Structure 1
Amino acid sequence: MVKKDTGKAGKKDSQLILRLDKEERDEFIKLCKKMDTSAAREIRAFIRKFLKDNG
């Protein structure tokens, strides 16, 4: 799904949908909250590092 660009810097414009076990998802979100971060932020960081290391 692509959203209209509103001109805001850093605006995200696409989504990545994935399926995983509910237990893993819940544990991941719980740990992110405990670490004062968000699941989305951590997944974006992983993707950026993966691209840097392998791209």
Structure 2
Amino acid sequence: MTGKDHKRFNKKNSQLVLRLDRDERDAFVTLCKELDTSAAREIRRFIRSFMKENSRT
């Protein structure tokens, strides 16, 4: 699989909409930037970790 094919295969195709306080959101995004990461990456990491820790299989 070429790099292009790999990117197309792993493309995200769903969204999760969250409502949160603007100040909290801004502080989170700022902290992510300071840590050289993205808010989306950290939220995905949290979701995967949460699912793994709470899996009932």
Judge same fold: TM > 0.5, yes or no: yes
Structure 1 residues not aligned, in runs of 5+: 1-6
In 2, distance between residues paired with 1:34 and 1:17?
24
Structure of greater relative contact order (alpha carbons < 8 Å, 6+ residues apart): 1
Q: How well do the aligned residues superpose, as a CA RMSD in angstroms? A: 1.2
* Equivalent residue pairs, number: 49
Q: How far 1:39 sits from its partner (Å)?
A: 0.1
TM-score (normalised: structure 2): 0.82
TM-score (normalised: structure 1): 0.84
Percent sequence identity is 63
Q: Which has the higher helix share?
A: 2
Which structure: larger Rg? 2
